[in-house]
């Protein structure tokens, strides 16, 4: 946000806080301004008032981006429950916090924001926080046999618990639960379990479909087969050691995760990386966005039987991986960034190779366009399938291509710009129907726009350093480490203790391949984060999937699943 926009947002939030506090005195609303960042302004409210506050905020903040909890075991009111709101039209963000004790509860806000559904379930699963009035408050990441709540501070990180209940019993429990939710018990319906051992669910997803003939009447989705405990691991590692873990969130565009994480910590440290590092990150982000979209489009076509399209999309992906390998030695999970800058500078000949790679991308894109865009079978499988309108998409918390396919030109690079995106000429492609075909078309056009961005950036990479000149943030030069005691001590302190942001909390968003990728970080002033919450775009998108496919057929659900591009590592972390 620009400075005038920051000031306007703070003024608005202060006035809104006064208005809500006056209208709802029982809320005990306290407005806490952030003097440095208006998007970190906070409303602190009584736990019993979060729903009425949410209903008021809905008039001004259409998005509820995330709901999470933070554990303070030495406090009487043990948990902070934290809500992140956003207004993309007026370029504003707001945080709302409420405190509750162990065993306490607070109202669910799902009646105001449907996006809260899975986020509240996650807070219940990870912390034991209960949400009264939630339509289906049960575990979502841990299995049903799990005992305890793993993100509580008193839960040991190495206490693993195996699922001992047979999977067929799990299916039977799902069926019994879903039947109990229906008045007619769906007695004359056909029940089909799909996944995780199904090609389109990639070994990690599962959903139970209830069919009337060939039409889907109800779907229940289960995730959690790839849970890596990312947020728990963050609490025992320093900020730079977390970068390789972020690679494995959306592994189809790993560097974007690196940059999103580093930008969040840099915001907490109050630093901006040098211009050369900013442009390098933008270039790598756009190449990553391209290959992410190629993977989505190609595997989606493969799920529908189009093998040739798979090879056409993966060939330029390998060319981009060649660029990554030349830059850092790794291909898929690259750990390219560092807090405060980049881990590697561009080697000789890299820019020329990158420009050539854009040509390869455009050639493959054209071939995919010819094979798919007007292909009669592909079009009939995609047009009108799994549609969602703009209002419902925003209510569910959809972002990225899935939201833009509904006609909403919402892109974090534009409405909450970072690096040099507000100085670059590119368009935000949008659809009209919000169906599977529009999601495909938006991604195809975004590949073109990313190539357009790259062509502007690559010939104009600024000279200069790739990291901030601060020995408490970035490693010193090797000649300093070997040549003087100050350099040696700076190296030692940074490696042993890591960077140490001041105590506080930060949320920062980044435009990932699937939408808004956000990190909420709480620092206690040490070299390790006290709490990390990742806001993965897939998580919000996938919870809307059952509503999107009801009324279609099983084949439509397979086609739609490919277009929303669920990445399992990002979905359940």
Domain coordinates in residue numbering, the chain: 3-132, 170-222, 230-572
Higher pLDDT, residue 255 or 181: 255
113 pLDDT above the threshold of 90: yes
Q: Are 381 and 303 in contact (CB under 8 A)?
A: no
The rounded distance, in Å, linking the Cα atoms of 130 and 208 is: 26
**124-161 residue pLDDT tens:** 999 999 999 999 999 999 888 889 999 999 999 888 88
Q: How confident is the model at residue 226 (pLDDT cuts 50, 70, 90)?
A: confident
Q: How confident is the model at residue 486 (pLDDT cuts 50, 70, 90)?
A: confident
Q: Which pLDDT score, from 0 to 100, does residue 225 have?
A: 73
Q: Give the rounded percent of residues in the chain with a pLDDT score beyond 70.
A: 97
Q: Give the pLDDT of residue 375.
A: 95
pLDDT of res. 257 = 96
pLDDT for residue 568: 85
pLDDT at 79 over 70: yes
The 206-212 sheet, strands edge to edge: 190-194, 206-212, 215-222
Residue 179 has pLDDT above 80, yes or no: no
Least confident range of 120-124, 434-438, 512-516, 562-566:
562-566
Mean pLDDT along residues 354-367: 97
Higher pLDDT, 228 or 534: 534
What is the pLDDT confidence band of residue 173, given thresholds at 50, 70 and 90? confident
Tell whether the model's pLDDT for residue 463 goes beyond 70.
yes
Q: How confident is the model at residue 81 (pLDDT cuts 50, 70, 90)?
A: very high
pTM listed for this prediction: 0.94
Residues contacting 390, CB < 8 A, separation 6+? 403, 406, 407, 408, 434
The CB-based long-range contact list for 362-369 (8 Å cut-off, 24+ gap) reads 362/451, 363/316, 364/294, 364/312, 364/313, 364/315, 364/316, 365/316, 365/444, 365/447, 365/448, 365/451, 367/312, 368/297, 368/298, 368/309, 368/312, 368/313, 368/444, 369/444
pLDDT at 345: 95
pLDDT score, position 167: 63
Write down the pLDDT at residue 4: 64
Q: Is the pLDDT of residue 1 over 70?
A: no
The answer on pLDDT for 561 being more than 70 is yes
The answer to whether 371 touches 312, Cβ cutoff 8 Å, is yes
pLDDT at 144: 80
Superfamily of domain 230-572: Cytochrome-c3 Hydrogenase, chain B (1.10.645.10)
pLDDT score recorded for residue 66: 97
pLDDT digits (tens, 9 = 90+) for 304-357: 888 888 889 999 999 999 999 999 999 999 999 999 999 999 999 999 999 999
Q: Is the four-CA dihedral 60, 61, 67, 68 of positive or negative sign?
A: negative
**The pLDDT value given to residue 184:** 58
Report residue 185's pLDDT band, with 50, 70 and 90 as the boundaries. Answer: low
Look at residues 225, 209, 205 and name the one whose alpha carbon lies nearest to residue 174: 209
Q: Give the residue ranges of DSSP H helices in 109-242.
A: 116-127, 167-180, 230-234
3-state secondary structure 59-74: CCCCEEEEEEEEECCC
pLDDT of residue 256: 97
Contact call for residues 30 and 47 (beta carbons, < 8 A): no
* Homologous superfamily of the 3-132 domain (CATH): NADH:ubiquinone oxidoreductase Nqo5 subunit (3.30.460.80)
Mean pLDDT of 280-288: 98
Give the tens place of pLDDT for each residue, 400-440.
Answer: 999 999 999 999 999 999 999 999 999 999 999 999 999 99
For tokens 């609303």, the residue is 29
- High-pLDDT (> 90) share of the chain, %: 74
Judged against a pLDDT cut of 90, whether residue 187 lies above it is answered with no
Q: Do domains 3-132 and 230-572 have the same CATH topology?
A: no
Mean pLDDT of 265-284: 97
Contact status, residue 567 vs residue 538, Cβ threshold 8 Å: yes
DSSP secondary structure code for residue 251 in this structure: G
Q: Which of 222-236, 452-466, 526-540 has the lowest mean pLDDT?
A: 222-236
CB 242 within 8 A of CB 209: no
CA distances from 39 to 7, 417, 533 (A): 10, 13, 17
């Amino acid at each position: 946000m620009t400075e005038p926009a920051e000031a306007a947002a703070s003024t608005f939030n202060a006035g809104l806080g006064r208005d809500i506090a006056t209208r709802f005195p029982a809320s005990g609303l306290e407005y806490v301004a952030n003097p440095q960042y208006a998007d970190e302004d906070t409303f602190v409210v009584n736990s019993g008032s979060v729903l009425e506050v949410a209903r008021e905020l809905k008039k001004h903040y259409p998005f509820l981006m995330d709901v999470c909890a933070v554990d303070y075991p030495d406090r009487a009111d043990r948990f902070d429950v934290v809500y992140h709101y956003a207004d993309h039209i007026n370029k504003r963000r707001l945080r709302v916090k409420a405190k509750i004790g162990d065993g306490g509860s607070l109202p669910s806000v799902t009646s105001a924001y449907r996006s809260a559904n899975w986020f509240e379930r996650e807070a219940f699963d990870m912390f034991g926080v209960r949400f009264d009035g939630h339509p289906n408050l049960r575990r979502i990441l841990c299995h049903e046999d799990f005992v305890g709540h793993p993100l509580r501070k008193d839960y040991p990180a190495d206490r693993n618990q195996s699922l001992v209940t047979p999977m067929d019993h799990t299916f039977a429990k799902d069926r019994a639960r879903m039947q109990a939710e229906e008045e007619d018990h769906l007695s004359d319906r056909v029940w089909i379990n799909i996944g995780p051992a199904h090609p389109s669910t990639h070994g990690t997803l599962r959903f139970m479909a209830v069919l009337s003939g060939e039409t889907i009447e109800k779907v229940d989705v289960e995730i959690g087969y790839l849970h890596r405990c990312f947020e728990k691991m963050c609490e025992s590692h320093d900020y730079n050691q977390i970068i390789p873990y972020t690679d494995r969130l959306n592994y189809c565009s790993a560097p974007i995760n690196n940059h999103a994480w580093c930008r969040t910590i840099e915001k907490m440290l109050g630093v901006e990386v040098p211009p050369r590092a900013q442009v390098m990150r933008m270039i790598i982000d756009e190449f990553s966005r391209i290959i992410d979209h190629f993977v989505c489009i190609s595997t989606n076509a493969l799920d529908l039987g189009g093998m040739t399209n798979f090879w056409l999309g993966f060939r330029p992906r390998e060319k981009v991986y060649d660029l990554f390998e030349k830059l850092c030695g790794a291909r898929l999970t690259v750990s390219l960034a560092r807090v405060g800058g980049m881990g590697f500078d561009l080697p000789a000949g890299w820019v020329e190779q990158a420009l050539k790679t854009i040509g390869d991308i455009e050639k493959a894109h054209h071939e995919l366009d010819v094979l798919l865009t007007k292909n009669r079978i592909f079009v009939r499988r995609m047009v009108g399938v799994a549609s969602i309108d703009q209002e419902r998409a925003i209510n569910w918390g959809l972002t990225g291509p899935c939201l833009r396919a509904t006609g909403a030109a919402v892109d974090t690079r534009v409405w909450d710009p970072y690096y040099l995106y507000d100085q670059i000429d590119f368009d935000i492609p949008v659809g009209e129907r919000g169906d599977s075909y529009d999601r495909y078309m938006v991604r195809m056009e975004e590949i073109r726009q990313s190539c357009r961005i790259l062509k502007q950036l690559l010939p104009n990479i600024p000279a200069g350093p790739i990291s901030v000149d601060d020995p408490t943030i970035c490693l010193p030069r090797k000649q300093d480490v070997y040549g003087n005691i100050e350099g040696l001590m700076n190296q030692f302190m940074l490696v042993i203790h890591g960077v140490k942001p001041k105590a506080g909390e930060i949320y920062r968003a980044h435009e990932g391949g699937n939408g808004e990728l956000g990190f909420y970080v709480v620092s206690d002033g040490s070299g390790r984060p006290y709490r990390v919450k990742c806001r993965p775009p897939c998580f919000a998108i996938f919870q809307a999937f059952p509503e999107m496919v009801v009324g279609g057929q099983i084949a439509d659900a397979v086609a739609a699943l490919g277009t929303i591009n669920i990445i399992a590592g990002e979905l359940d972390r």
